[in-house]
C-alpha cells in the first residue's frame, strides 16, 4: 500500500479493478479546503487516458510492472510471436496490445510490459523510430508543390501505408516515427 505522496510519473496502480499508469500528476493545496492530487491515468489494457482527482493521503495499491526486451519473430493466427532475448522463451500476444503493430518487421526488438505477479503481458512498445524500405509509391510530380509539405502515400515493407514527401522513391529506406506514423527522414545506405 502506498499513498498519494508516493505518486510519480510512470507509477502503476490498481484502481477500480483496473491497472493504470500515472502519466502526469500535480499536488494541489488550495487556500481553502483539503489538499488533493490531480492526475492523468492511462489504462494499461485499453490505452485510454482519463483525468482523476485523488484526495491527498488516500491509500492506493501499487502494482509491479516489468519491462522485458523481446524480438519479434512472426505473425500468425495465434497473434504476434516474440522471443525473449536472454532466456529464449517464446510467447504469443494479441496484436491489439501493440500500438501501430503494422510497423513491426521480423527481427525487431520490442519492449513488452508484464504484470509481475500474474506474468501476463499488458502492452508492447515499439522503439520511437524504425527503418523501413519503401516497396510501392507513385512517382512524384515535379512542380506539384502548392504547399510546402507536399506528401504522397507510400507502402513500406511491412505492408503499412504512410505519407512521405514527393522525392521518396521505391526501394529507398526511410525512418518512420512509430508514435504518430509520420515520415522522419531518408536513411543513407
Name 162's bridge partners: 154
106 burial type by CB count under 10 A (0-12 exposed, 13-18 middle, 19+ buried): exposed
Domain coordinates in residue numbering, the chain: 2-62, 65-125, 129-186
So what's the pLDDT on residue 143? 60
Q: Where are the beta strands (DSSP E) in the chain?
A: 2-3, 12-15, 18-28, 36-43, 49-55, 59-62, 65-76, 79-84, 90-93, 109-115, 120-125, 129-137, 151-156, 161-165, 173-177, 182-186
Domain pair 65-125 / 129-186, same fold: yes
So what's the pLDDT on residue 157? 92
So what's the pLDDT on residue 147? 57
CATH 1.10.10.10 fits 2-62, yes or no: no
Is residue 136 within 8 A of residue 130, CB to CB? The reply is: no
C-alpha cell at 80: 504476434
So what's the pLDDT on residue 44? 82
CB atoms inside a 10 Å sphere around CB 165: 16
So what's the pLDDT on residue 142? 65
pLDDT digit string (tens) for the chain, length 189 residues: 888 888 998 888 999 888 898 999 999 998 888 999 999 998 887 778 999 999 988 999 998 888 899 999 999 888 899 999 899 999 998 888 888 888 998 999 999 888 888 888 888 888 999 999 999 998 876 665 555 578 889 999 999 999 998 888 899 999 999 989 999 998 887
CATH architecture entry for 129-186: Beta Barrel (2.40)
pTM of the model: 0.73
Give the class (CATH, top level) of 65-125.
Answer: mainly beta
Residue in 7, 23, 15, 118 with CA at minimum distance from that of residue 64 = 118
Name 25's bridge partners: 39
Amino acid at each position: 500500500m502506498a499513498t498519494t505522496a508516493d505518486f510519480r510519473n510512470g507509477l502503476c496502480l490498481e484502481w477500480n479493478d483496473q491497472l493504470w499508469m500515472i502519466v502526469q500528476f500535480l499536488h494541489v493545496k488550495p487556500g481553502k479546503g483539503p489538499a488533493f492530487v490531480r492526475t492523468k491515468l492511462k489504462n494499461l489494457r485499453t490505452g485510454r487516458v482519463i483525468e482523476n482527482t485523488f484526495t491527498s493521503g488516500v491509500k492506493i495499491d501499487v502494482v509491479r510492472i516489468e519491462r522485458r526486451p523481446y524480438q519479434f519473430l512472426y505473425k500468425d493466427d495465434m497473434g504476434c510471436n516474440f522471443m525473449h532475448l536472454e532466456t529464449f522463451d517464446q510467447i504469443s500476444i494479441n496484436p491489439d496490445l501493440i500500438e501501430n503493430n503494422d510497423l513491426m518487421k521480423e527481427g525487431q526488438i520490442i519492449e513488452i510490459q508484464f504484470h509481475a505477479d500474474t506474468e501476463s503481458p499488458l502492452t508492447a512498445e515499439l522503439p520511437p523510430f524504425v527503418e523501413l524500405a519503401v516497396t510501392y509509391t507513385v512517382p512524384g510530380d515535379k512542380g506539384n508543390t502548392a504547399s510546402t509539405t507536399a506528401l504522397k502515400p507510400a507502402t513500406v515493407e511491412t505492408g503499412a501505408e504512410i505519407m512521405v514527401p514527393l522525392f521518396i522513391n521505391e526501394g529507398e529506406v526511410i525512418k518512420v516515427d512509430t508514435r504518430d506514423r509520420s515520415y522522419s527522414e531518408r536513411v543513407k545506405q
